[in-house]
């Protein structure tokens, strides 16, 4: 196995450098790291340690293997992780690289501190990497995160996320950050996509491995119409299904599309297939002692299909007073370009 890092360069295949000429007519040096006897860096962390904390753009190309380590991204400039694949890089099914960690909040740390990957800087991207919280294989709590994101302009492409409770923290604490997920597979059971980010899930598979709630969104204010970046989770052209391994549990009608972590939660599902794991009512509720007012919750659906969709459960959906179907005109506000505005960073 090897990890290959380079700055502002392009690779046809791993380890093969194409000739490029940048505007300054300077070719940056390339560092090769390997787990072979001749390798310099055997872990992702050691490779990251060689990258300067400045505004330059870097890429870390990671060869096949399982890397059991906890990674925190804090550098100032853009950085990309690219995992080698077995075939086309357009699908997570061919991923050969896994970043794994095993820790829960029972160890005395925060939710986010249990993550295999913690992204704390803008302009991070990951391609074709599996992120696993190993505790998830126990099919039980407490909270144990695979990836936590506390940054703006972050993208994951054809990546796999595995956990059980709180798999993916798509949030940002101080401001609202934009996060984009394309062609990803996300596994969990309880609140397994959670946080306050402006997150867009494009052609992803959301797969439950136990009873529970797909999302726990935490928008922090009722009126954000004038905000350049709006908090909310948008699922477009996705699939909501049971994972291939549910520990023997039949999940039919045992999963909901989300429960509000705040009185202003916003989640939209559109053009999405919903299997029979979704309850007829579709949506869940938070603990009554902490959330009693649902009047500002925005839970929307549009043009979804499958046995768990609104069209197949209209009466039960209509009984939930904090969700409704969107019109085509309303749904257009949640297209990728309209939602994010600037998409050049994607």
Per-residue HEC secondary structure of 212-278 comes to: EEEEEECCCCCCCCCCCCCCEEEEECCEEEECCCCCCCCCCCCEECCCCCCCCCEEEEECCEECCCE
263 and 296 Cβ atoms separated by less than 8 Å: yes
Residue 40 pLDDT > 80, yes or no?
A: no
Enter the tokens of residue 240.
């909501």
Q: Which of 72, 60, 58 is nearest to 28 (CA)?
A: 58
Q: By the 8 A CB rule, do 73 and 119 touch?
A: yes
Q: Catalytic: 342?
A: no
Per-residue model confidence (pLDDT) at position 24 = 33
Which range among 126-140, 151-165, 169-183 shows the weakest confidence by mean pLDDT? Answer: 169-183
3-state SS class at 93: helix
Q: For the chain, give the mean pLDDT.
A: 89
pLDDT-derived band at 7 (thresholds 50, 70, 90) equals low
- For residue 20, what pLDDT band results from cuts at 50, 70 and 90? very low
- Tokens linked to 333: 């506000």
Of 72-86, 109-123, 300-314, give the lowest mean pLDDT range: 72-86
Q: Sketch out the chain's domains with CATH numbers.
A: 65-340 (2.160.20.10)
Residue 35 has pLDDT above 70, yes or no: no
Please state the rounded mean pLDDT for residues 298-306.
Answer: 99
Is the pLDDT confidence value at 63 over 90? Answer: no
Quote the distance between the C-alpha of residue 73 and its chain's center. 15
- Kindly report the length of the chain: 346
- Do 165 and 191 form a contact (C-beta atoms < 8 A)? yes
pLDDT of 321 above 50: yes
d(CA 208, CA 228): 33
For the record, the structure tokens of 114 come out as: 């249990």
Which of 34-43, 110-119, 221-230 shows the lowest per-residue confidence on average (mean pLDDT)? 34-43
| Active-site residue, from 111, 191, 243, 276 | 191
- With contact defined as beta carbons under 8 Å apart, do 265 and 218 qualify? yes
**Worst-scoring range by mean pLDDT, 21-30, 225-234, 319-328?**
21-30
Structure tokens at 283: 């949506």
Split at pLDDT 50, 70, 90, the class of 295 is very high
Q: Strands, DSSP E only, in 250-322?
A: 255-256, 266-270, 273-274, 298-302
């Amino acid at each position: 196995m090897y990890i290959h890092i380079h700055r502002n360069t392009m690779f046809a295949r791993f380890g093969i450098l194409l000739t490029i000429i940048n505007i300054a007519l300077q070719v940056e040096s390339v560092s090769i790291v390997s787990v072979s006897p001749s390798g310099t860096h055997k872990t992702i962390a050691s490779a990251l340690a060689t990258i300067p904390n400045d505004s330059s753009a870097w890429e870390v190309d990671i060869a096949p293997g399982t890397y059991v380590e906890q990674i925190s991204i804090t550098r100032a400039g853009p950085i990309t992780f690219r995992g080698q694949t077995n075939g086309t890089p357009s699908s997570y099914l061919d991923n050969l690289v896994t970043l794994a960690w095993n820790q829960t909040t029972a160890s005395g740390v925060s939710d986010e501190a249990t993550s295999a990957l913690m992204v704390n800087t803008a302009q991070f991207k990951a391609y074709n990497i599996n992120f696993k919280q190993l505790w998830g294989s126990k099919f039980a709590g407490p909270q144990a995160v695979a990836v936590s994101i506390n940054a703006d302009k972050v993208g994951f492409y054809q990546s796999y996320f595995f956990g059980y409770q709180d798999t993916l923290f798509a949030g940002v604490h101080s401001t609202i950050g934009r996060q984009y997920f394309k062609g990803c597979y996300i596994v969990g059971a309880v609140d397994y996509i959670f946080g306050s980010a402006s997150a867009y899930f494009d052609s992803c598979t959301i797969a439950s491995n136990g009873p529970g709630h797909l999302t726990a969104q935490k928008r922090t204010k009722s009126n954000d119409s004038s905000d350049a970046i709006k908090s909310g989770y948008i699922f477009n052209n996705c699939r909501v299904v049971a994972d291939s391994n549910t520990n023997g549990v039949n999940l039919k009608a045992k999963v909901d599309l989300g429960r509000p972590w705040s009185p202003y939660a916003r989640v939209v599902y559109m053009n999405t297939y919903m299997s029979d794991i979704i309850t007829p009512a579709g949506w869940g509720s938070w603990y009554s002692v902490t959330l009693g007012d649902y009047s500002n919750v925005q839970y929307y659906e549009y043009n979804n299909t499958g046995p768990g969709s609104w069209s197949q459960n209209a009466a039960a959906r209509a009984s939930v007073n904090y969700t409704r179907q969107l019109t085509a005109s309303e749904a257009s506000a949640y297209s990728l370009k309209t939602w994010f505005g600037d998409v050049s960073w994607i």
